[in-house]
Amino acid sequence: MGTKIISKQSEGHLKELDRQKFRKNLLEEELKSNLNSKEISVFEAGCGHGHWLTSYCIKYPNKVCVGIDLIGQRIKKANCKKNKNGLTHLHFFKAELNEFLEVIPNKVIFEAIIFLFPDPWPKVRHHKKRMIQPNLLKNLAKRSLSGTSLYFRTDDVNYFEWTKSHIEESPFWEMDTSAPWLYEESTYFQDLMQCYFSLVAKKV
């Protein structure tokens, strides 16, 4: 009975690994054919419907920008906005952040990275699901230049403190308390919030 449960669990795990491999291969191909630039001016993780990044690209149409989100329907909406505005330097991909960083071509460098209202996962047992983690900060640093800025905004004070302390403990990033916000434009989630907290860090 016990062995049966374990083998069912490992069978499920193997299937998930297969699905992950398949997803990553597809994404890798998609990136190879659609992302020709070496420098990405702004990378947005968890871009939702792409409201903020589209607005940024309307203002700065020559900057190459990339937004990713887990949810395909949101990326579909983001691509509609991009196409409606004829923004050829803006790219949206349906992707999970860690998988995206694993398969993005080696040459690609981010000049700015932004997280706007990422899911806060308030329960302690769910903190491991938060996007900001030591390993993520390390992997983002590999894709950054010295001076690359990381912008983070949340309505959840606990997630704000979590991110601040992870940055303070990271050998790759430091707080940049005098840096201005990259670009002010509300997002779907920002519009719903009464107040929020922002920080800027820079790659050391």
Comparison of 6 and 181: residue with beta carbon closer to ligand SAM = 181
The residue written with tokens 């001016």 in the block is 41
As measured in angstroms, the least distance from the Cβ of 152 to ligand SAM is: 11
User: What DSSP string describes 13-42?
Assistant: HHHHHHHHHHHHHHHHHHHHHH---SEESE
As measured in angstroms, the least distance from the Cβ of 117 to ligand SAM is: 4
| 8 Å CB contact between 143 and 101 | yes
Comparison of 5 and 127: residue with beta carbon closer to ligand SAM = 127
As measured in angstroms, the least distance from the Cβ of 4 to ligand SAM is: 32
Comparison of 108 and 131: residue with beta carbon closer to ligand SAM = 131
- Supply φ then ψ for residue 156, to 5 degrees: -105, 110
As measured in angstroms, the least distance from the Cβ of 25 to ligand SAM is: 18
28 Cβ contact list (under 8 Å, min separation 6)? 103
Q: Which residue is nearest to ligand SAM (CB)?
A: 46
Comparison of 55 and 85: residue with beta carbon closer to ligand SAM = 55
Task: Read off the amino acid at residue 187.
Answer: T
| 8 Å CB contact between 43 and 113 | yes
- Contact footprint for ligand SAM (CB under 6 A): 45-48, 68-71, 74, 96-97, 116-119, 131, 187-190
